[in-house]
């Protein structure tokens, strides 16, 4: 990326036809596997057992934690010109900080295809679990919660940016089941270094309370000498004229 000042805000790249079909197939496959796994759990696991709700909640919480780790990693480390991951992973995160409203124009397929693809091998692994064993049932319920909610992370994130998401989603947000707009807004305050978890948001406050990400950054910087969020700040500096104020548009 050129470091010359820019006067217009960046936007997310557009999917090519082949990428659109890849996303469609990934979403359809992940959805079919989720339905298959859900039916398998319903028919083979006694859902009256005490561990069902804790295992499901733990899986959802693990998905939230995982979203935070990925989000923090992409926000904090690397450059937009990194081979392979730069254009497809890091650039969208940089663009999102500078122009968060661009996320709202992305279609369902654009938003969810890549995460659905990642969920597919996890779902195949879950389908191979022996549910009759003492450990297979709890692990299946945990994994189902992890995959079902985790595969919707980008969609949940997009809903958290919508001024008026669907009524059912607003209810889930207000109940704290899904990430809400007010909770996620905390991440978009400069320097965008907190509240990384974007699935339910359950893990944000505990991780902030123990200074989890700052401790990780200090350890990585000590070992590698790399400065956290250097590339992210480079983007903000380049687009300062286009931003024209001290906080991101839409905050």
Mapping DSSP onto H, E and C, the string for 97-155 reads: HHCHHHHHHCCHHHHHHHHHHHHHHHHHHHHCCCCCCCCHHHHHHHHHHHHHHHCCHHH
pLDDT value for 240: 79
pLDDT value for 237: 85
Cα gap 80→25, rounded to integer Å:
28
Does the pLDDT at position 220 exceed 70? yes
pLDDT value for 30: 98
- E strand or H helix at 39: helix 17-44
Does the pLDDT at position 250 exceed 50? no
Average pLDDT over residues 64-76: 97
pLDDT value for 12: 86
Q: How sure is the predictor about 251, in pLDDT bands with cuts at 50, 70 and 90?
A: very low
Does the pLDDT at position 246 exceed 80? no
> In 3-state terms, the chain is what percent helix, strand and coil (to 5)?
65, 0, 35
Q: How sure is the predictor about 85, in pLDDT bands with cuts at 50, 70 and 90?
A: confident
Does the pLDDT at position 241 exceed 80? no
What average pLDDT is seen over the chain? 92
Does the pLDDT at position 43 exceed 60? yes
Express as a percent the part of the chain with pLDDT over 90: 79
Query: Is the distance from CB of 204 to CB of 68 less than 8 angstroms?
Result: yes
Average pLDDT over residues 214-238: 93
Average pLDDT over residues 198-227: 97
pLDDT digits (tens, 9 = 90+) for 4-30: 677 788 888 889 999 999 999 999 999
Express as a percent the part of the chain with pLDDT over 70: 95
- E strand or H helix at 21: helix 17-44
User: Which among 68, 108, 96, 79 is positioned nearest to 201, based on CA atoms?
Assistant: 68
User: Which among 107, 126, 91 is positioned nearest to 24, based on CA atoms?
Assistant: 107
Please report how many Cα atoms fall inside a 13 Å half-sphere around the Cα of residue 62, on the Cβ side: 15
Query: Is the distance from CB of 238 to CB of 4 less than 8 angstroms?
Result: yes
pLDDT digits (tens, 9 = 90+) for 86-110: 888 899 999 999 999 999 999 999 9
pLDDT digits (tens, 9 = 90+) for 131-142: 999 999 999 999
Average pLDDT over residues 115-141: 96
pLDDT value for 244: 72
Query: Is the distance from CB of 232 to CB of 75 less than 8 angstroms?
Result: yes
């Amino acid at each position: 990326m050129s470091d010359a000042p820019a006067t217009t805000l960046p936007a997310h790249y557009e999917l090519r036809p082949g990428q659109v079909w890849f996303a469609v197939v990934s979403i359809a496959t992940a959805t079919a596997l989720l339905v298959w796994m859900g039916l398998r759990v319903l028919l083979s696991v006694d859902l009256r057992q005490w561990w069902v709700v804790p295992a499901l909640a733990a899986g959802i919480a693990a998905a939230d934690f995982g979203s935070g780790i990925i989000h923090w990693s992409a926000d904090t480390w690397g450059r937009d010109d990194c081979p392979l991951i730069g254009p497809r992973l890091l650039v969208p995160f940089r663009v999102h900080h500078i122009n968060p409203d661009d996320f709202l124009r992305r279609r369902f397929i654009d938003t969810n295809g890549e995460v659905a693809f990642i969920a597919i091998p996890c779902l195949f692994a879950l389908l191979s679990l022996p549910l009759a064993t003492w450990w297979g049932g709890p692990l299946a319920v945990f994994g189902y919660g992890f995959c079902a909610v985790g595969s919707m992370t980008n969609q949940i994130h997009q809903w958290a940016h919508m001024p008026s998401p669907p009524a059912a989603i607003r209810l889930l947000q207000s109940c704290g089941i899904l990430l809400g707009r007010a909770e996620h807004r905390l991440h978009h305050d400069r320097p965008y270094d907190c509240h990384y978890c974007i699935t339910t948001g359950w893990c944000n406050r505990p991780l902030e309370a123990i200074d989890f990400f700052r401790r990780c950054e200090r350890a990585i910087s000590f070992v590698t000498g790399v400065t956290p969020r250097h590339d992210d700040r480079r983007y903000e500096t380049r687009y300062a004229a286009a931003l024209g104020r001290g906080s991101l548009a839409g905050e």
